Structure 1
């Protein structure tokens, strides 16, 4: 067992490129050593085709099988409902529920098409191909009926509340009537983001299923979008891009790559969101309070543009962003974001909540990692990739049901919440369909006669460059032995196997045909070059030792890992409530206190160091239907004794607040605002000092629906204490309950103000509408969150 170390001390120099320094357990120097010899590791790499890889039995194969079954249960015609309807064609299936029935409708079809295409390449299942071809043919039919290249399923909510075809927003936009507010564009929920997913589905259908009609549909749609942007000046383009637009720049870059029509390259470069991308290109981390998954696809688009144009500023922005996110904004499972937003660098210990790690963010960070790795292969990239793929992406799906999480909560005792079959279709359900269709896509990479083995996932691969078929067998990450065998090779041939040695591995053993073998090591790879023949075997053995890792920026908050795998305390079944304290670890040698309970299943127990009691630790990703604790405050005995009283008092206070809480509204955040049916006009999301909120300017308002109960309630609203000249009203179900004036009397802090809610307004109701209206000439808020509490005493209503 290894001692606990701070992440910045771990294995300095693990990767000569220095692109993952300070990532837990795989830190790297910032530059290659001066005068270093030329590396035999090739300068670039490309992934072997997904169709060349077949998974063998493992947890990854289980995930693919569960996902495949779900994809086959879904209906293409139900995803096509709005596409058919808005083109004036007969609908063939009822629209799905959840997001597919909201104004973002249609996004699911793009993801579904990608997932089917990826699954077809991964498995070769013949039943998938007709679905792919059918969807593309129907989109072509829709496009023909539209007559102008348009194809979409999203909708628009008018000011009068009527929901209509989203196509009607584009003539307005072309006239310069642009209303963009974070996630809403002229009453439509993220239409360009939606189109990015449609383009991706079409491209994947061409790439993985050989459907060339898909490219023609993409060209027609691109022509429509190009006409929209051609009507706008540069300032207006930036107004549009203020609404989440996914990687629409990547869509046009990829279309250029496939057609070589410079029209698409010019548009891809024009769709450059200056406010976010310029600071990154200039090496400034201004990510705090930005919506994580809104930004990552923009950078993936820049990565694709760099590959097509060689423009270094694009590569620099991607490289800087990746370093900052993986080093300073990521949790131990590789995910990022609290309630979907970045916090300040090195502050994640303050953001271990029930809303951590949106799955889409990791899905996209892994895509970005693949781009960076292909430009300059280094094992350190796959130290990050493996960590996130294993600990977050696998945790994102329940393989028993095939359903997906939105967030992966790291707050102690919080259970994962999974989607339903037909009535959610959150973005993370849709990216999950893709993530679990392609677990073989990053195992093997090549350049010339070098084969990189980056992920140790049981599989076979046909390496066409050498005519070799290899088989990888292992119990990793539960076991440390990884076996490769040359199953087929005509004659004998010289080539290099580049085997990744993770930066957390303190040692390794290498056998070739059962005999010890020395190999040079460069950029985290063991390079085994020899004349190979059928039947040759390689065994790489890695020590799966325990270690503690500190959260970025806080040595006192730690997590437990074994090899690449995060271990978590098992706090009981998800279907049973958890009301205990968040556990802590106490002792002079916390790491040395863990005892192995089941080596094969990676089960350990703390002995004498757990508080309030000792705990069983098992792999976090596999606790699909359990409540877990991942992060722990670490104390010496003396420190614990001094802090225990305050620790328990604070836990009790938070628990009491949670018990009194009826509903909470996180203003300025996409999903909570959707969940609470936010309605607004002349109202904007804001962020300040790490908190998100919303205001309403003169003539505007914002309202939302909150759960309620009978009995005396208190509405609590949070404001920044230095706000001045704010004058507004709060009403509940149309009756004003407060007149608020903020005049900057409490500088330097956020303040909570409470307003009694008359019992008559909630009696017999399950919900009420809360509304904020500014006095003319003034602003309402910003309001940084609203809660409804049960009153605890008569004094609370005074």
Structure 2
């Protein structure tokens, strides 16, 4: 008997399920058989088994007052986000078990759920969590004591985001692996949360939701599906963030400057709530968001954001310059949104984006041999990525990373009441148990441009085999048992082959792909080479790969190697008609471009690389090179003198520097982030080798020392220079420097934009 009870919420939307045309298969029904996705699945399995469940459980046991069986992990798991990986781990165990049948995964999953149930029983009120001082924190929220910013709620690091991971993990443990105890713990946790927020007004709840909270609204929609209890659906709507929803309802783009991954899970919740309530406008809002992000904010490999925030749609220059390119968590959630919309709307455009992102971002975000997950994927030419390690790295992109490679079978196939759909060309099998049909797909795509589909059925039966005709496919042909079929479909649709199928029938799909240049969405002269759905990139160097495999430092997920000047990157110069003709095909999707070799980006590891190339006429090239050289020289000099820096108002930099504050808010104006306070804010700077001598503070408004005080390690700072919107302080000769900024008059400080600890 299958241990699957709910797989895919869309497949069991109560009485609404009968109306859904497109249905997913369970992960148990699909098996990946070979190729890079199979390898990625196996490498992820090794990583999952390398993690220690008792270490992941420690924060929950500590909070419940139970003895721990192993010390908790370090890194983010012991610096404020304690317990968040544990929730992701439940999901990864459940989905990998469903995808492989590995018994050890089920054993670990059942053990973890049982331990969490014991924590919940000890707490006595339905609560279970690993958040530091969780009981004190939640009691303050229950009483309406709320002081929140984008990532800090009552000076606690994204607590609702944290507990959302546990909600989702318990849901997945039941949904994918059939763990009944997980369902009980989940319902108990949900009931506790409903009671927690009952005294809060709608205004107070929206104040809480200012802080990143993951997809907490989605999980309460899931609880409604599980129980049919309307209080959960009412809660799901009540904890939907209106500040994000309302502009989307009005089809207004207010996303620039927002922390990107904070928003995507909320929108997944909007879509699920829409399906359950019939709120068509909420679904339209989700579609508008998806269209905006996927078409105007995403780079060639499907990722989005710079330094975790949405950049202006008209200017991707920050993305090109930064070593903190698109975040993998964003693509994890954009795939979830794409899947939900595809199953709801049955539109192939969602699959086009899903396929592009799956191959180029998700597949590339795990080291194919050593394992380890990527946080940032820079598009800056001649830069590189950092990979996690099981004992040192507990970032958000590790949590989503261990899930990413467990569920490759989720959308290769789908079905309607009577017909079968082939959505992706990945070697695999699918068992449609209800119809006693098995389909085996044999392909080496993208290294060969064909796929064979073999039908097995207990008896001849009629149905339509719908094969996706991708928008990138050329000369698309289909043969059934060697006989060509008339192709009466267009790209970005399905080609339906309806007949009475019998065991042994073979369908052959053939097509051609070509290489093209895709510009960045801002229309600038930067472009990437793309063959079919595959983004190509070139290894440029194996030098200066500092921190390639992360240590346990707070910012180990960021590259530490030098930034090579943009002017040293390879550029395409001359007549635009020659840019593509310069490529010389080699083999297995490799192309020679002078001294460079372009290959699928997901194959590029352990190296600096170039994905985007500037395109110039000869005259424009000479002018631009001189201008860029000057800009780069100034930027590199500043970076060389910088020991540490904080970008105020940006989520991760502030977390990395232990931000704390009261009566503080942050924002984004004139394409710059900021933070101000009517009380105080503090940051901790790392003064490596005690090299930093000065603290330079930049604001978007005039800095008036008579209205704001600065403390360095609790002592009044010596002000060396004030120039309108900048101020220089003398640094303390310590390895750690705590900077405190106090609003003296209570009227509020300027909007501080950046703090740098510099050598000169």
TM-score of the superposed pair, with normalisation by structure 2: 0.91
The answer to whether 1:194 aligns with 2:171 is no
2:223 to 246, 255, 263: 255
| Inter-partner Cα distance in structure 1 for 2:469 and 2:295 | 20
Residues 537-579 of structure 1 show CA distances to partners (whole Å, capped at 9, x for unaligned) of 1122221211001111224111111111111122112655664
| Inter-partner Cα distance in structure 1 for 2:329 and 2:681 | 31
* SS, match of residue 527 in structure 1: strand
| Inter-partner Cα distance in structure 2 for 1:116 and 1:710 | 44
| Inter-partner Cα distance in structure 2 for 1:653 and 1:52 | 57
Aligned residues of 1:713 and 1:757 also touching (Cα < 8 A): yes
Give the root-mean-square deviation of aligned CA atoms.
2.1
2:269 to 301, 306, 331: 301
1:591 to 542, 566, 579: 579
Instruction: Decide whether aligned partners of structure 1 residues 551 and 711 sit closer, same or farther in structure 2, where only a CA change above 3 A counts.
Output: closer
The Cα shift of 1:323 comes to 0.7
2:84 to 85, 104, 107: 107
The Cα shift of 1:264 comes to 0.9
The Cα shift of 1:756 comes to 6.0
| Inter-partner Cα distance in structure 1 for 2:434 and 2:458 | 12
The Cα shift of 1:644 comes to 2.6
Q: Which runs of 5+ in 2 are unaligned?
A: 1-18, 546-560
Residue in 1 that maps onto 2:283: 315
Residues 284-340 of structure 1 show CA distances to partners (whole Å, capped at 9, x for unaligned) of 110011111111111111111112111112111111111111111111111111111
The Cα shift of 1:641 comes to 2.6
| Inter-partner Cα distance in structure 2 for 1:319 and 1:711 | 50
* SS, match of residue 72 in structure 1: helix
Residues 413-439 of structure 1 show CA distances to partners (whole Å, capped at 9, x for unaligned) of 221011121232111100011111111
Residue in 1 that maps onto 2:309: 341
Residue in 2 that maps onto 1:737: 718
Aligned residues of 1:48 and 1:441 also touching (Cα < 8 A): yes
* SS, match of residue 664 in structure 1: strand
Residue in 1 that maps onto 2:389: 420
Residue in 1 that maps onto 2:31: 54
Instruction: Decide whether aligned partners of structure 1 residues 654 and 51 sit closer, same or farther in structure 2, where only a CA change above 3 A counts.
Output: same
Residues 198-250 of structure 1 show CA distances to partners (whole Å, capped at 9, x for unaligned) of 11111111111111111111111111111111111111111111111111111
The answer to whether 1:780 aligns with 2:749 is yes
The Cα shift of 1:74 comes to 1.3
| Inter-partner Cα distance in structure 2 for 1:50 and 1:501 | 24
Instruction: Decide whether aligned partners of structure 1 residues 211 and 329 sit closer, same or farther in structure 2, where only a CA change above 3 A counts.
Output: same
| Inter-partner Cα distance in structure 2 for 1:639 and 1:187 | 51
Residue in 2 that maps onto 1:569: 538
The answer to whether 1:72 aligns with 2:60 is no
Residue in 2 that maps onto 1:526: 495
| Inter-partner Cα distance in structure 1 for 2:246 and 2:705 | 33
The Cα shift of 1:384 comes to 0.2
Aligned residues of 1:363 and 1:393 also touching (Cα < 8 A): yes
The Cα shift of 1:672 comes to 1.5
Instruction: Decide whether aligned partners of structure 1 residues 434 and 775 sit closer, same or farther in structure 2, where only a CA change above 3 A counts.
Output: same
The answer to whether 1:448 aligns with 2:417 is yes
1:599-618 mapped onto 2 (5 Å cutoff):
599-600=587-588, 602-607=589-594, 614-618=595-599
Per mean C-alpha deviation after superposition, the further-off stretch among 667-676 and 251-260 is 667-676
| Inter-partner Cα distance in structure 1 for 2:583 and 2:319 | 30
The Cα shift of 1:520 comes to 2.6
Residue in 1 that maps onto 2:463: 495
Per mean C-alpha deviation after superposition, the further-off stretch among 404-413 and 773-782 is 773-782
| Inter-partner Cα distance in structure 2 for 1:144 and 1:721 | 53
Aligned residues of 2:701 and 2:750 also touching (Cα < 8 A): no
Aligned residues of 1:728 and 1:778 also touching (Cα < 8 A): no
Residues 166-207 of structure 1 show CA distances to partners (whole Å, capped at 9, x for unaligned) of 111222222221111111122322221122111111111111
Residue in 2 that maps onto 1:461: 430
The Cα shift of 1:120 comes to 0.5
The Cα shift of 1:714 comes to 4.1
Instruction: Decide whether aligned partners of structure 1 residues 215 and 711 sit closer, same or farther in structure 2, where only a CA change above 3 A counts.
Output: closer
Residue in 2 that maps onto 1:716: 696
2:139 to 165, 171, 174: 171
Instruction: Decide whether aligned partners of structure 1 residues 623 and 774 sit closer, same or farther in structure 2, where only a CA change above 3 A counts.
Output: same
TM-score of the superposed pair, with normalisation by structure 1: 0.87
* SS, match of residue 780 in structure 1: coil
Aligned residues of 1:708 and 1:788 also touching (Cα < 8 A): no
Paired positions, count: 720
Residue in 2 that maps onto 1:161: none
The Cα shift of 1:396 comes to 1.2
| Inter-partner Cα distance in structure 1 for 2:479 and 2:458 | 23
Instruction: Decide whether aligned partners of structure 1 residues 673 and 449 sit closer, same or farther in structure 2, where only a CA change above 3 A counts.
Output: same
The answer to whether 1:513 aligns with 2:481 is yes
| Inter-partner Cα distance in structure 2 for 1:726 and 1:258 | 59
Aligned residues of 1:493 and 1:533 also touching (Cα < 8 A): yes
Instruction: Decide whether aligned partners of structure 1 residues 350 and 192 sit closer, same or farther in structure 2, where only a CA change above 3 A counts.
Output: closer
2:739 to 759, 770, 775: 770
The Cα shift of 1:721 comes to 5.2
The Cα shift of 1:271 comes to 0.9
Residue in 1 that maps onto 2:180: 212
| Inter-partner Cα distance in structure 2 for 1:642 and 1:550 | 21
| Inter-partner Cα distance in structure 1 for 2:467 and 2:205 | 46
The answer to whether 1:266 aligns with 2:234 is yes
| Inter-partner Cα distance in structure 2 for 1:740 and 1:244 | 37
Instruction: Decide whether aligned partners of structure 1 residues 656 and 585 sit closer, same or farther in structure 2, where only a CA change above 3 A counts.
Output: farther
The Cα shift of 1:257 comes to 0.5
* SS, match of residue 591 in structure 2: strand
Residues 375-410 of structure 1 show CA distances to partners (whole Å, capped at 9, x for unaligned) of 121221111001101111111111222211111111
Residues 101-136 of structure 1 show CA distances to partners (whole Å, capped at 9, x for unaligned) of 122211111110000000000001122111111111
| Inter-partner Cα distance in structure 2 for 1:121 and 1:466 | 20
| Inter-partner Cα distance in structure 1 for 2:86 and 2:600 | 34
* SS, match of residue 504 in structure 1: coil
| Inter-partner Cα distance in structure 1 for 2:720 and 2:620 | 47
Residue in 2 that maps onto 1:538: 507
| Inter-partner Cα distance in structure 2 for 1:275 and 1:392 | 29
Aligned residues of 1:726 and 1:742 also touching (Cα < 8 A): no
| Inter-partner Cα distance in structure 2 for 1:228 and 1:91 | 27
The answer to whether 1:688 aligns with 2:669 is yes
2:642 to 623, 638, 661: 661
Residue in 1 that maps onto 2:4: none
Aligned residues of 1:569 and 1:617 also touching (Cα < 8 A): yes
1:86 to 55, 63, 83: 63
1:432-447 mapped onto 2 (5 Å cutoff):
432-447=401-416
Aligned residues of 1:406 and 1:417 also touching (Cα < 8 A): yes
Instruction: Decide whether aligned partners of structure 1 residues 712 and 90 sit closer, same or farther in structure 2, where only a CA change above 3 A counts.
Output: closer
Residue in 2 that maps onto 1:96: 73
| Inter-partner Cα distance in structure 2 for 1:392 and 1:643 | 30
The Cα shift of 1:655 comes to 2.7
Residue in 1 that maps onto 2:558: none
Aligned residues of 1:456 and 1:482 also touching (Cα < 8 A): yes
| Inter-partner Cα distance in structure 2 for 1:729 and 1:50 | 58
| Inter-partner Cα distance in structure 2 for 1:66 and 1:279 | 41
The Cα shift of 1:94 comes to 1.0
Instruction: Decide whether aligned partners of structure 1 residues 272 and 457 sit closer, same or farther in structure 2, where only a CA change above 3 A counts.
Output: same
Residue in 1 that maps onto 2:358: 389
| Inter-partner Cα distance in structure 2 for 1:615 and 1:66 | 29
Per mean C-alpha deviation after superposition, the further-off stretch among 402-411 and 508-517 is 508-517
| Inter-partner Cα distance in structure 1 for 2:208 and 2:261 | 17
